[in-house]
Structure 1
Amino acid sequence: MKKEKILVVDDEWNMRQLLNIQLSSRFDIKEAGSGIEALDVLKKEMVDLVILDLMMPDLDGWQVCKKIRETSQVPILMLTARGDVKDKVQGFTVGADDYLVKPFNPEELLARSKALIRRSTLSSESNPQSEGIIEISELKIDQNQRQVFIKNDLLEVTPKEFDLIQLLVLNPRITFTRDMLLDHIWGIHGVLDIRTVDSHVKNVREKFRKNNLSFNPIKTVWGRGYKFQAPEEAQ
């Protein structure tokens, strides 16, 4: 069985070797010692996951993540010694899929890596029930291309923001708790801070507002969570 490929990006040789030891039994590991080197690797070959250090001297992890997202939806796991909520929110905003603070448990690293690759694989597989275009008023969701449009103008969303929008739209009668959203979208229940969900909802709503969507598709159900809100319900 062919191993999935992970690109480990960290300017510290010792950390790259540690990650290699922890993951090489399950994955094929590629290494990059800088953000520039990582972008060069990604131009030449496909990988299934990028494990990206935040603090690097040339391009930091946020800059590298943003660059990757210009051309690829590969899952990105951000590694950092900093655990500030603002850092996490910024990472998710530029397109990171998950966030792990050093020092970390090797079993948790392996579990998160497997979950990110599994979810990416599932979302890319053909699913007759979720293919095609969804149009609700001036909001359009292209599930095949994983794109969102407002009045035919492309809306820039991160992979997790797209997953959030799609999940709510496809399940309009369900109220999702924050734990349910963490489980469905990130794949590891109870590991991430539930504020991750709130920050994603806030970002999506702000993007809808700035692009003049005539209704708010994400309704807050107080004391429970979030659900889809149709245009007629938002009146």
Structure 2
Amino acid sequence: MGEEILLVEDDADIARIIQDTLRQQGYAVAWATTGMEGWEDFQQASYDLVIVDWMLPEMDGITLCRNIRLASDVPIIMISARKEDVDKVEGLDMGADDYLEKPFSLAELKARVASQLRRWRRYNGQDELTQQSIYIGGLAIEWQNERVLLKNRDVLLTPKEFELLKLLAQNPERVFSKGKLYEHVWQQPELGDVHTVTVHIKALREKLDDPVKTPHFIQTVWGKGYRFIGEVT
């Protein structure tokens, strides 16, 4: 075993029980007490599974789940005292792979974790993220190396510019508001300085030689935000 699990739970008693149980199964378990802390931990390390409580301070579990799913296909198990079907559907719609109602048995938790990790191991063995994407117009993105080329010439992006491009390109045709881009890339609440996003998008477009009026890659959806329209060759 030895898989890495991120647990995001603000109730210390519940978190300790889950942590101890999973560690006895041979898993390495990191614990975050708030949604924002969990998001920061996820960005800084590599995990094989994430367990997220619905009700969390700073950033709720639904928002955290949505952010993680935009960045990764890692399995997510949501735990919550909410029992209504509509709540379960919302959690699954936001990217959770499984939903556990509180209170749950430790045997059920262990079984759900083992099941999701088996799926993750199969996924990683068969279908890893494509190392390079090439688009009409001469844009090439090497995901692992964080390298961008335009017509076979290196495009030197800042880390934030690359994260913006990555988020947009890996979610083609999806419209992101400036607030959501700021929340995801800068890891701050979306009420932050969204002008920063405008500045970075402008710089990114200039480096990609992508005019606003006739874009090949990043399109402005007026009044809503931006989306990636590049076509894979």
Instruction: Report the TM-score when normalising by structure 1.
Output: 0.53
Q: Closer, same or farther in 2 for the Cα pair 1:155/1:107, shift >3 Å? A: farther
Residues in 1 aligned to 2:57 and 2:8: alpha-carbon distance in whole angstroms: 12
**Structure 1 residue 33 and structure 2 residue 33: aligned?**
yes
**Structure 1 residue 13 and structure 2 residue 3: aligned?**
no
Q: Which amino acid aligns with 2:4?
A: K
Residues in 1 aligned to 2:94 and 2:173: alpha-carbon distance in whole angstroms: 14
Aligned to 2:42: 42
Q: Which amino acid aligns with 2:77?
A: L
> How far apart are residue 155 of structure 1 and its match?
6.5
Please list every run of 5 or more consecutive structure 2 residues that lacks an aligned counterpart in the other structure. Answer: 131-170, 175-233
Asked which structure has the greater CA Rg, the reply is 2
Instruction: Write out aligned runs for 1:60-209 (5 A).
Output: 60-126=60-126, 154=172
Q: Which amino acid aligns with 2:72?
A: S
Residues in 1 aligned to 2:122 and 2:173: alpha-carbon distance in whole angstroms: 23
Aligned to 2:208: none
Q: Which amino acid aligns with 1:107?
A: A
Q: Deviations over 1:106-163 (max 9, x none)?
A: 0110000010011011022137xxx9xxxxxxxxxxxxxxxxxxxxx9476xxxxxxx
Q: Closer, same or farther in 2 for the Cα pair 1:63/1:43, shift >3 Å? A: same
Q: Deviations over 1:162-202 (max 9, x none)?
A: xxxxxxxxxxxxxxxxxxxxxxxxxxxxxxxxxxxxxxxxx
CA RMSD of aligned residues (A): 1.8
Residues in 2 aligned to 1:68 and 1:45: alpha-carbon distance in whole angstroms: 12
Q: Which runs of 4 or more aligned residues in structure 1 lie more than 2 Å from their structure 2 counterparts after TM superposition?
A: 153-156
**What is the count of residue pairs matched by the alignment?**
131
Identity %: 36
Instruction: Report the TM-score when normalising by structure 2.
Output: 0.53
Please list every run of 5 or more consecutive structure 1 residues that lacks an aligned counterpart in the other structure. Answer: 132-152, 157-235
SS in 1 for 2:126: coil
Residues in 1 aligned to 2:84 and 2:58: alpha-carbon distance in whole angstroms: 22
